[in-house]
Amino acid sequence: MNSALPTSAQWAALMPILFPALAAAVIPLALLDRDAGVQKWIRAGVYAVALFALGASFMFLAELGKQSSQPSYQQLRLDYLAQFTGIFIVVAAALAVLQSWDHFHQEGWVKGETISLLLFSVSGMMVFASTTNLLVLFLGLELFSIPLYALTATLRSRSSSSEGGLKYFITGAVAAACFLMGIVILYGLTGTLDISVMRLQAGTPLADPLFIVGIGLLLVGFLFKVSAVPFHQWTPDVYVASPHPIAGFMSVATKGVAIVALIRAFPGLTAWGPVLGPKVQGVFMLVAVLTLVVANLTALVQTSAKRMLAYSSISHAGYLVLGLVAGTPGALTGMLFYLAIYLAMNMGAFGLFTAFGLVGEKDTYEDLRGLGWKHPLMGLCAALILFSLAGVPPLGGFYGKYMIFKELVATGHVNLAILGVLASLVSMGYYLRFIVALFLQAPTQAQEREATEAPVIQASLARGTVLVGAILVVAGGFMQTVLVDGFAHRAIQGLLGLR
Amino acid sequence: MENLLISLAQNLFPIFGLLAVGGAALMVASRQAVHSVLGFLFAMLCVAGCFLTLEAEFLGIAQLLVYAGGIVVLFLFVVMLVELTKYKEKDIFQKQTKVALLAVAGGLLVVGGALRNALFGPAAKEALTLRPEITNGAVLGNAQAVSRGLFADFLLPFEILSIILLVALVGAVVLAKTERV
């Protein structure tokens, strides 16, 4: 019998995942005290514990890069791609925690358990991003989805909140069931749960119709989490229903880990053989085209800025899936760079609502009128972030798209690249509407009166996160080589075994 | 008759499987919560049957205990507490007396016939041994195989599952708690 305790290398693989989970398990215990005077301090403590856990997880993840061999524990394997994704998730979660402190105080209620759920979700995402074992992949999926279902429905007093939560739960359960069914079929046909082994194992019936059905069901589960059309209907409702920081976290982290898992499962087109490979590529192509067209056109006609951002996040899924269509190492690297910039852009964009102190259901363009002049720094950040989302040249968002389109042209998908450029032009329309509302429209008299009567908004932390987002977006435009060569390229090389 | 029984016995797995699907369909389709729970119970019993036909006795019995025993009772409690006020008890429980009597009589006949055969019928030609390879010690028993899987090969997924249960708990607290500063 081998010894039961993990070795130190195995602990190194477990630590980044254990820390958020442990903090999340401790936090609900701390909240039992109902004394109002004590609760204020407990609340601050809860946030401190959450940030500490994320920081510790970050430290352990940063440590991973220095070791020559990547640690693994059972079905977990923390390679460079897992390290990249882990840091991505931790940063997104830290920004969301900081924003939620301000947002919940603006709303006038704080449930510390929401932070606990957020941390559980972080653990789940790390599990999801660092395994090729389908069973563990499924458990990671559930571990990060279930907290998000509850987080969406946090605000009981608002009916749209529980509606969004229920929708998310039911559609998510259906997608998870499809995913599980796919796993069962693949396991039944090949006798292994490891998708990377399955691919290379001799005698795998890669062209068997049933095998293709299994892969298709898996894809449904992934694409649901990526929120690509036609599996996108839940996205706008859920984002609008959930608190602003949670919506930002969901749009960034859920999409990010799902994309990384897709990269892991479908690394390049040759990986799945001559019959299945083109089929999968065809699916990606169809999904990308549908996503770009539907999401961009729907986003144009929204009246709620938050709903517009939800559709915009769907359209960004379209650009990312285009990278999978190209499937070259360069395109996959571009996708990781895109994800990093997307993190800065979307956490910043959703953070704007908190930074401007918009609470409740105040998320239409009308509510944004003139706010750019009232908070000049935030206005500037908003402009930078939104232009980057649209893909205006010197900013980070442009280079993400550029890297993907370049590889698309190189692999002969010129039509798709043209469609992508056209889609970004269309997206300019709705992002400009946001900026026009911020700067060029004067607030109505009612809004002016309300603004003078309202107490001073507490949003310094949220403003800080938006500022960080804007700085990252600009830095992504001028110093992308650091990020690309330092992390993204190494992650993809490690995954494909190039080097 | 003998042939029919043999072919039934050889196809127990698909039979149980189809019945389970039927139970699940009943659970989804029925408009009354109590009927849904009964459909669920039936589906779970059939799944336990599937496990038994696959020689996974431990899983089969665990399925019976946990699902058919624990979870269905829990569901029934919820249904009773939430739904019962809507209907008059008489409408649910007191209309089926005749059907129930018939079913019990049929069941008695079958069990009585089997008992009579076992007690007074001819003796079997050879002693019945379930899976002789276990008694030889050639393979490990079912419980050992399951525990080896849970606590050695799949320890990590097992622990992740326990965290998922905790998440469900915390999630329920968040949903039930009222908002206040």
Dihedral angle of Cα B69, B70, B76, B81, to the nearest 10 degrees: 150
* A117 chain-B contacts, CB cut-off 8 A: 167, 170-171, 174
| B150 in contact with A, Cβ within 8 Å | no
Q: Which of A251, A157, A49 is nearest to B175 (CA)?
A: A157
- Which among A117, A131, A169 is the top mutation candidate for probing chain B, defined by the most B β-carbons within 10 Å of its own β-carbon? A117
B76/A135 Cα distance (integer angstroms) = 31
Q: Is A447 exposed, middle or buried (0-12, 13-18, 19+ CB in 10 A)?
A: middle
A20/A52 Cα distance (integer angstroms) = 9
A242/B146 Cα distance (integer angstroms) = 41
- C-alpha dihedral sign at A437, A438, A444, A446: positive
A309/A378 Cα distance (integer angstroms) = 17
Q: What is the DSSP string of A389-415?
A: HHT-TTSHHHHHHHHHHHHHHHTT-HH
Q: Which of A356, A414, A347, A430 is nearest to A385 (CA)?
A: A347
Q: What is the ipTM of this complex?
A: 0.86
Residue B165 has pLDDT above 90, yes or no: yes
Cβ separation of B174 and A113 shorter than 8 Å? yes
Cβ separation of B160 and A140 shorter than 8 Å? yes
The percent of residues in chain A predicted with pLDDT above 70, rounded, is 97
Token digits of residue A249 = 């976290």
**Quick one: which H or E segment has residue A26?**
helix A8-30
Least CB–CB distance from A136: residue in B156, B164, B180: B156
Q: What is the DSSP string of A249-268?
A: HIIIIIHHHHHHHHHHHS-S
Under DSSP, the state recorded for A159 is H
* A114 chain-B contacts, CB cut-off 8 A: 174
Which 3 state secondary structure label does DSSP give A327?
coil
| SS3 of chain B: helix, strand, coil, percent, to 5 | 80, 0, 20
Place of tokens 């659970």: B27
* B163 chain-A contacts, CB cut-off 8 A: 21, 25, 120, 123, 143
Cβ separation of B179 and A116 shorter than 8 Å? no
Residue-wise pLDDT for A306-352, tens only, equals 999 999 999 999 999 998 888 888 888 889 989 999 999 999 999 99
Q: Which of A260, A227, A242, A234 is nearest to A89 (CA)?
A: A260
Contacts of A317 (CB under 8 A, 6+ apart): A226, A227, A228, A232, A255, A259, A291, A295
Q: Is A243 exposed, middle or buried (0-12, 13-18, 19+ CB in 10 A)?
A: buried
Contact A87, A64 (CB under 8 A): no
| A116 in contact with B, Cβ within 8 Å | yes
| A76 in contact with B, Cβ within 8 Å | yes
**Quick one: which H or E segment has residue A316?**
helix A305-326
Cβ separation of A111 and B170 shorter than 8 Å? no
A112/A109 Cα distance (integer angstroms) = 10
* B170 chain-A contacts, CB cut-off 8 A: 24, 28, 113, 116-117, 120, 147, 150
Cβ separation of B171 and A21 shorter than 8 Å? no
* A139 chain-B contacts, CB cut-off 8 A: 157, 160-161, 164
Cβ separation of A135 and B157 shorter than 8 Å? yes
- The nearest alpha carbon in chain A to B160 belongs to A139
Backbone angles phi, psi at A189, to 5 degrees: -80, -35
A327/A29 Cα distance (integer angstroms) = 47
B181/B166 Cα distance (integer angstroms) = 25
| B2 in contact with A, Cβ within 8 Å | no
Asked if the peptide bond before residue A274 counts as cis, ω within 30 degrees of 0, the response is no
pLDDT-derived band at A93, boundaries 50, 70, 90: very high
Which one of B8-12, B79-83, B142-146 scores highest in mean pLDDT? B8-12
| A41 in contact with B, Cβ within 8 Å | no
Contacts of A429 (CB under 8 A, 6+ apart): A300
* B172 chain-A contacts, CB cut-off 8 A: 150
pLDDT-derived band at A105, boundaries 50, 70, 90: confident
Under DSSP, the state recorded for B115 is H
| B177 in contact with A, Cβ within 8 Å | yes
How high does pLDDT run on average in chain B? Answer: 83
Residue A127 has pLDDT above 90, yes or no: yes
Residue A1's pLDDT is what? 40
pLDDT-derived band at A454, boundaries 50, 70, 90: confident
Residue A497 has pLDDT above 60, yes or no: yes
Calculate mean pLDDT across residues A408-436: 90
Residue A143 has pLDDT above 90, yes or no: yes
- Which among A5, A75, A151, A158 is the top mutation candidate for probing chain B, defined by the most B β-carbons within 10 Å of its own β-carbon? A75
**Alpha carbon of residue A397 to chain centroid:** 15
Chain A segment 217-256 residues within 8 A of B by beta carbon are none
Backbone angles phi, psi at A133, to 5 degrees: -80, 125
**Quick one: which H or E segment has residue A72?**
strand A72-73
Residue A417 has pLDDT above 50, yes or no: yes
* A28 chain-B contacts, CB cut-off 8 A: 170, 173
Contact B61, B49 (CB under 8 A): no
pLDDT-derived band at A173, boundaries 50, 70, 90: very high
Cβ separation of B174 and A150 shorter than 8 Å? yes
| A181 in contact with B, Cβ within 8 Å | no
Contacts of B49 (CB under 8 A, 6+ apart): B12, B16, B19, B20, B60
* A111 chain-B contacts, CB cut-off 8 A: 174, 177, 179
| SS3 of chain A: helix, strand, coil, percent, to 5 | 80, 0, 20
Under DSSP, the state recorded for B86 is G
Three-state SS string over A58-122 comes to HHHHHHHCCCCCCCEECCEECCHHHHHHHHHHHHHHHHHHHHHHHHHHHHCCCCHHHHHHHHHHH
The size of the A-B interface in CB pairs under 8 A is 77
Residue-wise pLDDT for B110-161, tens only, equals 999 999 988 887 777 777 666 666 666 666 677 777 888 888 888 889 999 9
Residue A499's pLDDT is what? 42
* B167 chain-A contacts, CB cut-off 8 A: 117, 120, 143, 146-147
